[in-house]
């Protein structure tokens, strides 16, 4: 049993301040456990989001000692406890209260990306055939738990506030999953280049570093999309041919 001080952001869109809470921490605890303990004993009204406690729902995103992480997957024994642990909401989104932020922008962005549009079923039983090797790559992207930590860390959103011009790494991953889906026939490259601002990304790879699902966001999703956008720009017919060719 150790005693730890948590320095937690208490406030809302109008402002706020850090408040210190000191509590005992036992073996195996994660940051979210400590928050719950403080909530149950010292601050009933401390607002935070969580659901699964297992790194699967992406609700408990926050900045722990300044680094965007999931609270439920950050074990206390990985943090220095001789000084206060600072805990604050994601800073790339407006604060609602305490550790919660208004992430609705993300949901709006997603609706603007053209939906999955499969080719006609071509197997005799009215479905499709796909090989595991062809779906592996897409499955990596589909692991995303929508924690928005990558959005939080990306300087284009966080520092330059380009929310109206850039969809951010999460939705580049989402677009990549659609574009590389073996059955998909839609073309999302013109928007990607224009309204969705893929050009803003200068491949700093910060997003990849914070992704709790270890999705190789930059190398596997963003760079291939950038290449496609470039190909498309210089060689639209060649691209069209690639897109229409059966992928299986």
Binding segment (CB under 6 A) for ligand FES, from list 34-42, 48-56, 107-115, 159-167? 48-56
What is the C-alpha to C-alpha distance for residues 138 and 144, in angstroms, rounded to an integer?
11
13 scored as a contact of ligand SF4 (CB under 6 A):
no
Distance between alpha carbon 31 and the CA centroid of its chain, in Å?
19
Which residues lie closer than 8 Å to 214 by C-beta, 6 or more apart? none
103 scored as a contact of ligand FES (CB under 6 A):
no
| Residue selected from 58, 68, 89, 197 as contacting ligand FES according to rule CB under 6 A | 58
Asked whether 192 and 175 are in contact (CB, 8 A), the reply is: yes
| Residue selected from 59, 100, 101, 151 as contacting ligand FES according to rule CB under 6 A | 59
| Residue selected from 8, 70, 189, 229 as contacting ligand FES according to rule CB under 6 A | 70
146 scored as a contact of ligand FES (CB under 6 A):
no
Measured from the CB atom, is 123 or 237 closer to another protein?
Answer: 123
Q: What phi, psi does 129 have (nearest 5°)?
A: -115, 135
> If you count them, how many residues does the chain have?
248
* Minimum separation from the CB atom of position 117 to ligand FES (A): 31
> What's the token pair of residue 160?
């330059």
What is the C-alpha to C-alpha distance for residues 209 and 126, in angstroms, rounded to an integer?
42
| Residue selected from 7, 36, 37, 53 as contacting ligand FES according to rule CB under 6 A | 53
Q: What phi, psi does 49 have (nearest 5°)?
A: -110, 140
56 scored as a contact of ligand FES (CB under 6 A):
yes
3-state secondary structure 64-94: ECCEEEEHHHCEHHHCCCCCCEEEECCCCCC
197 scored as a contact of ligand SF4 (CB under 6 A):
no
Which residues lie closer than 8 Å to 218 by C-beta, 6 or more apart? 169, 201, 203, 205, 207, 208
Measured from the CB atom, is 83 or 131 closer to another protein?
Answer: 131
Using CB under 8 A, list all residues that contact another protein.
Answer: 12, 26-30, 33, 39-40, 44-59, 73, 75, 96-98, 100, 103-104, 107, 110-111, 115-116, 118, 121, 126-132, 135, 138-139, 142-146, 178, 181, 184, 248
92 touches, from another protein, ligand FES, ligand SF4, none (C-beta below 5 to 8 Å by class): none
Q: What phi, psi does 221 have (nearest 5°)?
A: -105, -55
What is the C-alpha to C-alpha distance for residues 96 and 94, in angstroms, rounded to an integer?
6
What x-and-dash track marks residues 117-156 binding ligand SF4 by CB under 6 A?
---------------------------xxxxxxx--xx-x
90 scored as a contact of ligand SF4 (CB under 6 A):
no
Question: What does the binding site for ligand FES look like in residue numbers (CB under 6 A)?
Answer: 50-53, 55-60, 70, 72
């Amino acid at each position: 049993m150790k005693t730890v001080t948590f320095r937690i952001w208490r406030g809302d869109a109008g402002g706020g301040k850090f408040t210190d809470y000191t509590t005992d921490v036992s073996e195996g605890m994660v940051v979210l456990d400590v928050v719950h303990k403080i909530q149950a004993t010292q601050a009933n009204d401390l607002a935070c989001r969580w659901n699964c406690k297992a790194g699967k729902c992406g609700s408990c995103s926050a900045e722990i000692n300044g680094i965007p992480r999931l609270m439920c997957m950050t074990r206390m024994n990985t943090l220095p406890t001789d000084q206060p642990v600072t805990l604050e909401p994601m800073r790339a989104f407006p604060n609602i209260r305490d550790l919660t932020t208004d992430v609705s922008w993300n949901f709006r962005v997603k609706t603007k990306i053209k939906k999955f549009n499969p080719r006609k079923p071509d197997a005799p039983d009215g479905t499709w055939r796909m090989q595991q090797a062809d779906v592996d790559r897409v499955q990596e992207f589909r692991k995303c738990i929508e924690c928005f930590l990558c959005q939080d860390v990306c300087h284009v959103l966080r520092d330059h506030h380009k929310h109206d011009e850039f969809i951010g790494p999460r939705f580049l991953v989402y677009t990549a999953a659609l574009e590389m889906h073996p059955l998909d026939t839609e073309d999302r490259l013109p928007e990607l280049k224009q309204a969705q601002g893929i050009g803003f990304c200068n491949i700093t790879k910060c997003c990849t570093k914070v992704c709790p699902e270890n999705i190789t966001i930059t190398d596997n999703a963003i760079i291939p999309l950038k290449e496609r956008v470039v190909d498309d720009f210089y060689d639209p017919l060649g691209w069209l041919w690639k897109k229409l060719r059966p992928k299986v």
